[in-house]
Structure 1
Amino acid sequence: MKEFVVYTVLRIVLFLASFGIVVGIMALAFDGSYNLFWAVVLAFLISGVGSFFILDRQREAFARRVETRAAKAAAAFEERKAREDTD
């Protein structure tokens, strides 16, 4: 669960940072005005690409945790299924 929270918080921070940068650049380029819709779209794109490269280690840790939990759940299921077959 910790890996999920860390990854999610970092994604949110990366999006907010991207949004701030995009709004700043748009405000400078368009004399203080910007389109909020396009600022959000660009921030999503930039943060998505950035998270692919920047947050790779956190994503891998989260994936390992999920894989471990899934393997434990599958093993427990198989054990219960085997016990049921012997009864």
Structure 2
Amino acid sequence: MKEFIVYTAMRIGLFLASFGIVVGVMALVLDGRYNLFWAIVLAFLISGVASFYVLDRQREAFARRVEARAAKASAAFEQRKAREDED
């Protein structure tokens, strides 16, 4: 669960930083005006691409944790199934 929280918090932080940069650049270029919709869209795109490279280690840790939990659940299921077959 820790990996999920860390990865999600970092994704949110990356989005907020991207949003701040996009709004700042738009405000500078457009004399203090910016379109909120396009600022959000650009921030999502930028943070998505950046997270692919920047958060690779956290994403891998999260994927390993999910895979381990799935394997454990699958093994427990197979064990219960084998016990039912014995009866």
Q: TM tier, shorter chain?
A: over 0.9
Tell me whether 1:55 sits opposite 2:59 in the alignment: no
Matched AA of 2:18 = S
What is the alpha-carbon root mean square deviation over aligned residues? 0.2
Tell me whether 1:64 sits opposite 2:55 in the alignment: no
Structure 1 unpaired stretches of 5+? none
Aligned length: 87
The superposition leaves residues 12-51 of structure 1 with CA deviations (integer Å, 9 ceiling, x where unpaired) of 0000000000000000000000000000000000000000
Deviation >3 Å, runs of 4+: none
Counterpart for residue 21 of structure 1: 21
Tell me whether 1:33 sits opposite 2:51 in the alignment: no
Counterpart for residue 9 of structure 1: 9
The superposition leaves residues 53-76 of structure 1 with CA deviations (integer Å, 9 ceiling, x where unpaired) of 000000000000000000000000
Matched AA of 1:13 = G
Matched AA of 2:22 = V
1:10 Cα deviation (Å)? 0.1
Rounded to whole Å, the distance in 1 between the matches of 2:16 and 2:61 is: 23
The percent identity for this pair of structures is 82
1:85 Cα deviation (Å)? 0.0
Matched AA of 1:4 = F
